[in-house]
Structure 1
């Protein structure tokens, strides 16, 4: 028993000396994104003071927290640009505007939604999108590790898994949310709607393809119903297309297409013949 104990101690000591990882980053990441969302939306704020000085103080606190997180990771990522926290703050107006449009799109798409405040406060799809947009900004600015921690926190909270590297346009709506997967190189246009269980994934999973486009492109005004799977970096879903629930798609379809659950492709006509494609709860 003593020999096993000593062997364990030696193994862990060697591991920690080789890479002393800042353990608090795992708990600090969720607190940071809560702080950002509380700044942007009173729905998420622990306390609310409606004065310019209070808002200025909260903005400064967000930037200071991001500087602190950057410091925690400095040893592991010494080449990170020091200007990232300040640049992130300058992007917050655009993040806020995009999220307001996302909330409006979700409200307009869901007959069960009574108002936009309800969407912001209670819809897991909006919460996941909100965290994604924060994480995507940091990812694009080159902040290491934190973006993945943020989107994995959203994944745990909502069941929606969006890689921070994905590119997603304005007025994006996810209804219900549970089981949605959006891969790293996915490109999503404007006014796209996804329902629960949708996968936008890679057709082939190989480490050698890490720097290639592995995930599909959805052009503007595409609707993808529940549990549909769309795979492949060369797969493009044309503008205005509708993908039925449970469809499996690995090839491109032209604009205004209708893809049935049997993966039959036809041109879109009137909305009156789309009943079999929809799966609402």
Structure 2
């Protein structure tokens, strides 16, 4: 799934018009993942269960060594032009939502089912709806 993404993303950057869209559709059908070729995905990113149910905004940025659980949404918010930035070493639990112009700091953990609408400090853990820092 991720190798296919990297291939069609590379084709998109080369300016090839049709093939990246076709391969994006194949990725969406085979793996039930919405991963547009314009998203920036770092090295060693892991999508649990081959990205089952994951939706990533076309302009989102994921750093290196990020773990993305199943059913995660990384997307925009109505009325906002900016999208999430996920820094390196972040763990996104199953079913969490990261919405709008937020930054999740390096090494942070987002609990399963959390809804993140504000920035998350590096190394912290958040949970809940909306997500709030958890005591250590």
**What TM-score do you get using the length of structure 1 for normalisation?**
0.45
1:202-258 deviation line (CA, Å, top 9, x unaligned): 1127xxx8xx5x4211000000010000011x2100000000011011111110110
| 2:94 paired residue number | 226
Question: Which segment is superposed worse, 191-200 or 135-144?
Answer: 135-144
Q: 1:265 aligns with which of 127, 133, 136?
A: 133
Q: How does 1:143-158 map to 2 (within 5 A)?
A: 143-158=16-31
Separation of aligned partners in 2, 1:146 and 1:179: 23
Which has the larger Rg? 1
Deviation (angstroms), 1:160: 1.1
Greater strand content = 2
Cα distance in 1 between the residues matched to 2:6 and 2:99: 23
Task: Please give the secondary structure, in 1, of the residue aligned with 2:70.
Answer: coil
Does the Cα contact within 8 Å between 1:203 and 1:250 map onto a contact in 2?
no
- The reply on whether 1:236 has 2:76 as its aligned counterpart is no
1:146 offset after TM fit, Å?
A: 2.2
Distance 1:149 1:215 in 2: 25
Partner of 2:85: 217
Unpaired runs of 5+ residues, structure 1, are: 1-127, 270-281
1:161-198 CA distance string (max 9 Å, x none) = 10110001100101112110111101000000001000
**Aligned CA-pair RMSD:** 1.6
Question: In the alignment, what sits opposite 2:59?
Answer: 185
In structure 2, how many angstroms separate the alpha carbons of the residues matched to 1:130 and 1:246? 27
Q: Which has the higher helix share?
A: 1
How many pairs does the alignment contain? 134
How many Å separate the matches in 2 of 1:228 and 1:148?
Answer: 27
Q: Which runs of 4+ in 1 moved over 2 A?
A: none
Aligned pair in 2 of structure 1 residues 180, 253: CA closer, same or farther (>3 Å)? same
Within 2, Cα distance between the matches of 1:187 and 1:223?
Answer: 14
